[in-house]
Amino acid sequence: MKIGHVAALVALVPALAFGESAEDELKFAARLSARGHLEMASAHLTKLAASSDSSLARAGRYGLALLDRQQAQLLRNRFLAALKDGREPNVTRAEIDKVYAKAVDDVKAYVERAATDYDARSQYGELLQEAAEFLAGWGYPDRLDADVKKLREDNKGDIRKLFDAAVGEFDATLKGVRAKIKNPREMTDAQEFNLMRSEFSRAQASFRRALSMNSLALRTNGLEEAIELLDEFHGKYFNRIWGIYAIVFLGRAYRELGLERGSADDVETGLNYFDFLFGPDLNEDPEVPEKSAIMAEGFYWYADTCRIMALGPKAGPVAGRLKKARPAYWDKSIQSGSIMDRKLVAGAKLPSALRARLLIAEAHAARGDVKQAVSIVGHVLDTAKFSNLRAVMREASAKLTGWLAGAGSVRLDPGMLYQLGESEAAQGRGAQAIAACEKSIASSMTDDDIERYAYPAWRKIAAEYRRDGRYYAASTAAMKVVNDYTKSTTKDENSRLGLAAGDSCNLARKCWKIISDNTKRPADAQEYKRISAIFRDEFPGHPENSDRAYREAREAEGDKNYLAAVEAYKNIVVTSPNYWTAQRRIPVCLNALAVRTKVAAEAKQHREACLAAAQALSALAEKSPGVRGTESAKQYGGLYAAISLAYLERWEETVTAMEKYLAAYPKQYLLRGLELKSLIDAHIELGQIDKAEAALAKMRADLPTSVYGRKSSYDVYKALRKTYPTLEGDARMQMAARTALLWKERIDADEKPKSSYYSVLGRIYTDAGVFQEAGDAYATAAGIEEQTGKDARQIAGYNLQAAGMQFRAAKATKESDPQGYLQKVAVTRDRFMDVLVPDKAVQAKVFAALGSSTQYPKADTFAHVKKFVKPLLTAAEVLGESAPTGQFDGRWAGIRLIDYLHKFTAPSVDETAPEEKQKLQKQYLSDWWDGFELKLRLCDAIAAGSSGVEKRRAARKGYGFWRKMKVELPEMDGPERVKTAAKLGASLKRHAGK
């Protein structure tokens, strides 16, 4: 407050250092910045600084420097306001210090080049003081005294340096101003004014410096120096406004000195100085604003001093050493209040006056007269609200809320309580607002009070509950007003009760709409309709009722009568407050209509109409920039156009439109993800699979619970599944892995996944080259099938696949872990055998038979698996891999499996009809030849690893088979096969000997 007033007085000083036009420019910039247009002011000054006119350029540079100071002040005020409210400041001390440092550097740079511009030097001194005071924690609330002490201790060097520099500037200014005066008796008004201001600034600087010091001696010495200077100044200019203003500082200096030394006499002297301001000297011309400001400030300091004295030493901002609290000072404070009421006519609305009143109210409260205290604060609140003094409003409501809690059964003014409720609501403190409004209702005894305050208070309570999402409570409170109105004998919609009831009814109606939308219960929908009917019938003049056309359109839309709604929306006149909302609803309705129309041709027609409406809406909004509602209209236009394009399958346009929309309104998913779904669809259709995947990732990040997530994920999966088989190598495997991931997510989300889902997953994993997972997937499929389908053939198939995958996974470890590999192969072999020969007794016979190189198992042993060609092949491979481990040589078993496979995949001409033969050949051709090659390999391996009869038998069997096929089908199934077979044949021939 102190700084504010000094600034106000300094602002009266004309800046004489620049030319007239430069001054005008500076004043213009000052007006801009005072209205908060800092950027415009900055732009104007920057332009000025670049001017070719040196005077203008100088003014521009100076103005820019001062703008930095203003910026620092703004940040500082925000920071201190947050501390007072107990909020977390959104700017740090370090940031503000930085802005102050920049301001100091900028002004210094100017001042150094203009040493005789004393106005600027004086401003520089002020700035230095401000920066020092911020470092010293000025303006902190009392509860943070410890922080202030620490700040002063931490920054004591810098604080002192800044203050000394400020005093240096003021001294230099004073010297310069004095030097310009040749004859003190013949001073011009401007010279006298400059001298007076410089002397005042110098005296005040001592005071301000003293208060920021941490050491007691420095503080008291500084205060004594300040008292001397201020006293001298006052004596010299006692009949001038500055001289009177010095009294406030003299009073404050004595008060601080008294608190520091624990001297009640000094504090009393301070009070006497403030008291002097209430005397006759200021009574002449009390309407002069500066006098009112000084008086208000004096009253404030008087009351504040009384408060400190009444509460005792610890309550003061400075840790004083006065022995104990003196309640008599409350009386003094109250007496000063009555003087203030009489004297301060013109300045009653000044913040200082209002704050003084708050202190006087505190005095009343301390003496137990809460009613009086509350009444005064109510008045302050009223005035502050009228004058838009938000900080004072905050202080007043905080005090009131505290006192009201302790007011007990004291009956208070309902009007004031209602105001408090409004103020609390405006500050977003819902619970306190409701409490104050309830107290207002409880205090409203007369019919007039009830109409004036109780009903609006009910409405406010309802609004607060609604804002807080407590719809039942909001409706209960609101319907209290409505019921009283409908029961009243003299129903007048424009009476206070009528107006409150109309608003309340509308509010209750909206609450029930939300409730019934949530509960979807007919009884709640009925209640909504009932209250809507009351609103319609009882309050026809209510603004929301008066826009009947709009309401009817909404109702038609609510009834899903979209065409009628569109027509009604089109008829809303441009002057209606709902015009833009109505325009937005047109594409929305057409979209809903298109979605609900089952006949494709008609749906397309509506869709095209929706597209046209959306495009028209965007165009309309573009034509009316800045008008309220157009931004939202633009958004709707863009969104529905893009959506419609997607529905119309105009994919390229969809991508363009939707990407443009999402860039303009990131993360604003009005349709809960349909935006991204459309984009994904379009990318898939255009074959842009990577982009589709990216859009899906975005959808998952931004809208993890979107209803479209599952569908889009499936679509992307399908596209990937279709695409990856067309790729080769790593790209194929990577895409297959991504495909598997999506498919697995889908299966995991399914409560009862089918066995075939896992079979598909197994296939994709196989393509992705992850055999272990593939095996698991097949095993799961088999497990599910066992539980549900129980199709034995299917189960056997899945188990064979699982075993096959297990084998393939094991193969990868053959080189690195040969021993482990053999164990795995043994396990796999058993798994195969379990499937191929489930009956354990038969299996034993088969093993016995296989163990002998002379016996073959009967042909029908494998009959139940005869269609599983690939598993048989794999089984053969597995058996082939199982080296002789005692029971039997698996390789012979593998050879026999291949024989069996060949038997049913290539039956003789005599046995099979030609069509069947052709079909079989087509189906099993490559498998047949794979079996052929594997058989040769197995024979070759046995021959190479054995001797004697075994060697010859194996070699001859293989060699004979090769020769037979070479004669019968020399081209085999391809040149590669012929080549490989030839190599193996040659090797077998070598082993077979003669």
Partner 1 sequence: MNRKTIFTLLLGGLLAVPAGATDRIEFAEEDGTVRTADILSVSKESLEEFRGLGRISGRRKTLRIPSRRIVKLTRGSSEAVNQWSKRLAKARAMIANNQLVTKGTNIGADEILKNMTYSTEKGTPGQEKSERVLPWHQMYALYHLIQVRYLVGKDGDASSLDRGLQEIDQFMKRTDSKSKSIKWKVPFKEAFAEKKIHAWGSTWLKPHVMLLKARILRAKGDKSAATAAYEETVKLVKDKKLSPMVLAAARTEQAEMAAEGKSDMDAEKEYRNAGIWMQGESRRQVDAFGKELLGRAGNRALLHGADLLLASAEKGGGVSVKVPMARYKELRDIGGAKDAALYMGAQTGYGICLVKDEQGEKAYHALLEVAVRGYEYPDHVQRALFYLGKAAPIYAKDLDRSGANGDFVRKAGERWWADLRDRFPGSPWAEKAKTD
Contact footprint for partner 1 (CB under 8 A): 409, 431-432, 434-435, 438-439, 441-442, 461, 465, 468-473, 476-477, 480, 514-515, 518-521
Question: Measured at the alpha carbon of residue 708, what is the angle toward residues 705 and 712, in degrees to the nearest 5?
Answer: 120
By beta-carbon proximity to partner 1, the closer residue of 468 and 817 is: 468
Q: How far is the CB of 648 from partner 1 (least distance, A)?
A: 33
Tell me the CA distances in angstroms from 16 to 5, 28, 59, one per residue in order.
21, 15, 11
Please tell me the distance from the alpha carbon of residue 199 to that of residue 235, in angstroms, as a whole number.
Answer: 12
Smallest distance from partner 1 to CB 425, Å: 14
Q: Minimal distance in Å, beta carbon 527 to partner 1?
A: 12
Q: How far apart are CA 489 and CA 487, in angstroms?
A: 6
Quote the tokens at residue 588. Answer: 């929305």
Listed in sequence order, the DSSP H helices in 454-576 are: 455-467, 471-487, 496-519, 522-538, 543-546, 548-558, 562-570
CB of 515 to partner 1, least distance (A): 8
Q: Taken in order 74, 79, 82, 88, is the CA torsion positive or negative?
A: positive
Q: How far is the CB of 751 from partner 1 (least distance, A)?
A: 18
By CB atoms closer than 10 A (0-12, 13-18, 19+), residue 890 is: buried
Element (H, E) at 284: none
Q: At closest approach, how far in Å is the CB of 745 from partner 1?
A: 26
Task: Give the integer Cα–Cα distance in Å for 195 and 213.
Answer: 28
Of 511 and 981, which has the nearer Cβ to partner 1? 511
447, HSE (Cβ side, Cα atoms, 13 Å): 3
| Closer CB to partner 1, 429 or 607, in the complex | 429
Shortest Å, Cβ 470 to partner 1: 4
CA dihedral 977, 982, 985, 991 (to 10 degrees): -130
CA distance 40 to 801: 75
Residue 520 vs 922, nearer CB to partner 1? 520
Nearer to partner 1, 516 or 578 (CB): 516
* Nearest to partner 1 of 530, 979 (CB atom): 530
- Provide the terminal-to-terminal Cα distance of the chain, rounded to the nearest Å: 120
Q: Which CB, 341 or 468, lies closer to partner 1? A: 468
Q: Which is nearer to partner 1, 238 or 472 (CB)?
A: 472
Beta carbon nearer to partner 1, 128 or 434: 434
Count of other CB atoms within 10 angstroms of residue 718: 14
Q: What is the dihedral of CA 135, 141, 146, 150, to 10 degrees?
A: 0
Q: In angstroms, give the least distance from the CB of 881 to partner 1.
A: 57
Residue whose CB is less far from partner 1, 55 or 372? 372
Nearer to partner 1, 223 or 437 (CB): 437
Neighbours of 89 (CB within 10 A): 16
Contacts of 631 (CB under 8 A, 6+ apart): 621
Considering the complex, what minimum distance in angstroms separates the CB of residue 433 from partner 1? 11
Q: How far is the CB of 430 from partner 1 (least distance, A)?
A: 8
Neighbour count for residue 982 (Cβ, 10 Å): 13
**253 vs 461, beta carbon nearer partner 1:** 461
Beta carbon of residue 432, minimum distance to partner 1 (angstroms, whole number):
7
User: In terms of CB distance, is 365 or 850 closer to partner 1?
Assistant: 365
Write down the least CB distance from residue 402 to partner 1, Å: 12
Closest by CA position to 426, among listed 385, 471, 380, 474: 385
Cβ atoms of 138 and 77 closer than 8 Å: no
- Map tokens 């494709």 to a residue: 600
Q: Smaller CB distance to partner 1: residue 460 or 721?
A: 460
Nearest Cα to Cα of residue 295 among 341, 255, 335:
341
How many H helices and E strands in the chain? Answer: 45, 0
934-959 core/surface letters (b: 16 or more CB in 10 A; e: else): bbbbbbbbbbeebeeeebbbbbbbbb
Shortest reach from residue 569's CB to partner 1, in Å: 29
Residue 411 Cβ vs partner 1, minimum distance, rounded to whole Å: 10
177: tokens are 């101003």
- The rounded radius of gyration (Å) of the Cα atoms in the chain is 47
DSSP assignment letter at 452: I
